[in-house]
Structure 1
Amino acid sequence: MLRSALFIILSCTAFAAEPCRIEIVDKQNGWPVPLVELRSVHDTIHVSDNLGLIAIDEPELLNQEVYFAVRGHGYGVPKDGFGYQGVRTTLKSGGKFRIEVERQNLAKRLGRLTGAGLFAEGEKLGIPPLLPETGVFGCDSVLTAPIGDKIFHLWGDTMIPGYPLGIYTSSAATTPRQPLKKFEPPIAMPYTHFRDDKGRPRGVAPIPGSGPTWLGAMVSFPDNQLGATYSKISNHLDEYEVGTCIWDPATRNFTTHKTLWKSADGAKPLILRGHPVRWKDPAGKNWLLFGDPFPTARCPDDFESWKNPGTWEKLDAPDNPRASDGAEIEPHRGSIAWNAYRKRWVTIFTQNHGKPSFIGEIWYAESESPLGPWEKATKVLTHDNYTFYNPRIQTDLTPADAPFILFEGTYTAEFANKPPPTPRYNYNQILYRLDLDEVK
């Protein structure tokens, strides 16, 4: 029996092929390109990791000429005479093949921030990962705020290995200030997740009541206070309670501060939503503006005013931005930020009812005021029947005078026309870079 087992082990080892290394790079700058899909003629799917690598060890694909269709959400190769976009090559066990893709987007994909297997293809090729696994497989919609010498990152519903909706009371992590040492791929975000006593990622907003807890409008103050708006959810998307909550450093959780509305109350009052920015008005008064993407509410910029709904004021939303051809672009969600390089306010937002993706087309615009009007609307990122929502400009990740901005958003098959979910990438955060001198 022992000899039989040993024979089986040795046989399996003998027949295991060393992978062929596929390198996918941007033809313009040579950067590795994550999230490029290769599909064989018999529909095996291979997706580049944060290193821009794919490891192929399928026996039927090695040592003969094979064809792969190439799909990359704004990265691709030229069409051939039949209209196919792909590459043809002979893959060798232990060999190497390089694919140069052309970028059609203005925004450059830097990589996936969250989820498992960020460097999985490289690991198959013997390359040590740049980060350990976190135990997070997927997460929805980021909020960030600087607090002390760190950045606080918070997400909504979060997938863990043992269950699709393993955390539904918001997960969170911290990083150092400006945690990225460079602003080109490959990237590796050094999250320190809040964990339970067994070392697993945990929820940080155990607000009483059934169903998920979603947080929004998270904002920090000078004495390390951190607050947010919370929503209790039923039936997948329906709010039944809304209020404010405050971070408790002792329990390392958000706790209820004030309940603002319940479903039995009727119409909702003014609620702080979206992503906050700080602004000093022409009269010299400091405000917190809240919007998603454009400001719809404000309060004086101090913790006591934030806690007191009596100080909150409604703002009228500006007109929708227009593209260079005059077409009105209806925003879905997004964020704004002051940009020192352009000396203007800038916005990144998802287009509602966009094409080719319904909620996956990303636009950039500018304004002299955070209250609008917003001009020079330019599409900077597109997706092929896939969703990219709730994008946030990440000013805390870059130097103040950087000639580029970084933004991240949630990449998900939700709300698209039944696309196959992208392995490992689906329902996770992806980071992009937009060089401002390239925006006309």
Structure 2
Amino acid sequence: MVKQLLAVLALWLAGPACALQPCRIEVVDAENGWPVPLVELTTTHNVRFVTDNAGVVAFDLPELMGVETWLSVEGSGYSVAEDGFGYRGVRLTPRPGETRTVRVDRALPAKRLGRITGAGLFAESQKLGRELDWREQRVVGCDSVQNALHNGRLYWGWGDTALPGYPLGLFHMTGATTAARPLGSFEPPVRLRYDYVADQRGAPRAVAPLPGDGPTWLGGYASLPDAQGKNHLVACYAKIRPPLEAYETGLCVWNQQNQVFEKLRRLWTKSEAEPTPPPAPTGHAALWRDPSGADLLLFGDPLPSLSCPASFEAWSDPATWKILEPQVAVATRAGGQRVNPHRGAIAYSGYRQKWVAVFTQQGGEASLLGEIWYAEADSPLGPWGDAVHVATHPNYTFYNPQLHPEFTGPESPVLLFEGTYTHTFSGNPRPTARHDYNQVLYRLDLDELAAGGK
């Protein structure tokens, strides 16, 4: 008995000096039980927590432990029902070392799988002693993505890239490779690791340091065979000067030995006589065999605006390019509305036996550039229609979405897409910690879309 009393006394004396153990709060989709990343939980005194890729926050506020607490819930398409005063949130009582569960409803078809770039993908879980095998990759932010399957690997390229060591990061594209199908599961939590092109210290480095002032942006990644059967990874470049003005465009080719893109030819230099760039093979590329049996590469962002024969020689020669007129607006399935695409990508779905597109709406209701739509067509040249609103990011931006049919295969009923989640252009002065200026991955279930379900 004396020993037990002494043990209790020792714990009582040590208690004030011990760190407070957080309360684990998990946010799950009420429909399927999946964890939901990127959900904000905010207290009445404006402390904000954001769920990580495991749908978890480590609630560590000492002033609210053991106290019934209201948490406002906002999840860009995930939330809870309004109460009588119009508030959306939950009441719970956090306690150290315990778990509380918040169930949210998904408003639109796209299921959020998680963030696939940046730092702290599992930071909240790691505060709780979980996901400790996840290792950071020395990048905190990545702008718009480019992809191409090349010689059995999936090549990745990102625009301006933020690093932890200084406010100014990398401005001549960063690059990496993965397996062609890099995910073992299409359910959250998503864990996507890259083999970055790195410097001697092992840190990601620029892969397109093309000559000229200002950043280098690349688009239109593609892998094309030459007449001898050798594959070339190619892209269209733009040189940029402040604020966001292109002053030179051209073609570049990947040097595998040096792990950099090298200029092949200049297409245009800004001048009074030629103030705007001519059409070029940029945006995202899609391979198409046309009705005559010719293999063509289509370039668009989202809908095709240029085509060329699918060979390195043809891509290199503007005389072989054909300028296309992309559809300006797409009719919705619900009718009565036409949606103007901003940026996006197309791919062929063997499951739907149609061409499919995912794009950002220009001037949406809930956000200027944060509303994502899905559409279909029998031909990549259109007409495109049957558009469905699949994801929303109120008062935020989700631009330059990219499809990933290579992740799942063309016959799969699952279609994945990613895009850049950022407060830029939204008017929202409050960026979401860790998530802002990064790529977020979503899942569409095509059988549900075809049936008209959520």
> TM-score w.r.t. structure 2 length?
0.93
Q: How does 1:311-350 map to 2 (within 5 A)?
A: 311-323=320-332, 324-350=334-360
Q: For each residue in 1:169-215, what CA deviation from the matched residue of structure 2 results, as whole angstroms up to 9, or x when unmatched?
A: 00011111101001000010121111111111110000001111000
* Structure-2 separation of matches of 1:294 and 1:39: 39
* Structure-1 separation of matches of 2:415 and 2:355: 12
- Count of matched residue pairs: 431
Letter in 2 for 1:253: V
Q: For each residue in 1:345-390, what CA deviation from the matched residue of structure 2 results, as whole angstroms up to 9, or x when unmatched?
A: 0000000011101000000110000000011011001111000000
Q: CA shift at 1:11, angstroms?
A: 7.7
Q: How does 1:258-337 map to 2 (within 5 A)?
A: 258-264=265-271, 266=274, 267-323=276-332, 324-337=334-347
3-state SS of 1:221 partner? strand
Q: For each residue in 1:20-62, what CA deviation from the matched residue of structure 2 results, as whole angstroms up to 9, or x when unmatched?
A: 0001100000000000000001101100000011001121121
| 8 Å contact from structure 1 (residues 130, 188) kept in 2 | no
1:228 matched to which residue of 2? 235
Is 1:421 the counterpart of 2:431 in the alignment?
Answer: yes
Q: CA shift at 1:418, angstroms?
A: 2.2
| 8 Å contact from structure 2 (residues 289, 295) kept in 1 | yes
Residue 176 of structure 1, aligned match among 174, 179, 182: 179
Letter in 1 for 2:338: E
CA 1:408–1:130 in structure 2 vs 1: closer, same or farther (change >3 Å)?
Answer: farther
Q: Which runs of 5+ in 1 are unaligned?
A: 1-9
Is 1:153 the counterpart of 2:156 in the alignment?
Answer: yes
Bigger Cα displacement from structure 2, 411-420 vs 24-33? 411-420
2:387 matched to which residue of 1? 377
CA 1:250–1:12 in structure 2 vs 1: closer, same or farther (change >3 Å)?
Answer: farther
Q: Which runs of 5+ in 2 are unaligned?
A: 1-12
Q: CA shift at 1:400, angstroms?
A: 2.3
Q: CA shift at 1:148, angstroms?
A: 1.7
3-state SS of 1:230 partner? strand
1:400 matched to which residue of 2? 410
CA 1:129–1:173 in structure 2 vs 1: closer, same or farther (change >3 Å)?
Answer: farther
Is 1:81 the counterpart of 2:88 in the alignment?
Answer: no
* Structure-2 separation of matches of 1:287 and 1:144: 18
* Structure-2 separation of matches of 1:268 and 1:390: 20
Letter in 2 for 1:282: P
1:359 matched to which residue of 2? 369
Q: Percent identity?
A: 49
* Structure-2 separation of matches of 1:50 and 1:417: 26
Letter in 2 for 1:14: A
* Structure-2 separation of matches of 1:284 and 1:392: 27
Is 1:387 the counterpart of 2:397 in the alignment?
Answer: yes
* Structure-1 separation of matches of 2:244 and 2:364: 22
Q: How does 1:83-102 map to 2 (within 5 A)?
A: 83-102=86-105
3-state SS of 2:339 partner? coil
Bigger Cα displacement from structure 2, 266-275 vs 108-117? 266-275
Letter in 2 for 1:357: S
Q: CA shift at 1:83, angstroms?
A: 1.1
2:256 matched to which residue of 1? 249
Letter in 2 for 1:251: N
| 8 Å contact from structure 1 (residues 386, 419) kept in 2 | no
Bigger Cα displacement from structure 2, 11-20 vs 260-269? 11-20
Letter in 2 for 1:415: F
| 8 Å contact from structure 1 (residues 157, 165) kept in 2 | no
Residue 143 of structure 1, aligned match among 143, 146, 159: 146
Please, what is the CA RMSD of the aligned residues?
1.4
| 8 Å contact from structure 2 (residues 221, 285) kept in 1 | yes
Letter in 2 for 1:135: R
3-state SS of 1:379 partner? strand
CA 1:419–1:322 in structure 2 vs 1: closer, same or farther (change >3 Å)?
Answer: farther
Residue 189 of structure 2, aligned match among 168, 172, 186: 186
Letter in 1 for 2:289: K
| 8 Å contact from structure 1 (residues 23, 99) kept in 2 | yes
| 8 Å contact from structure 2 (residues 142, 438) kept in 1 | yes
* Structure-2 separation of matches of 1:224 and 1:319: 34
* Structure-1 separation of matches of 2:42 and 2:223: 45
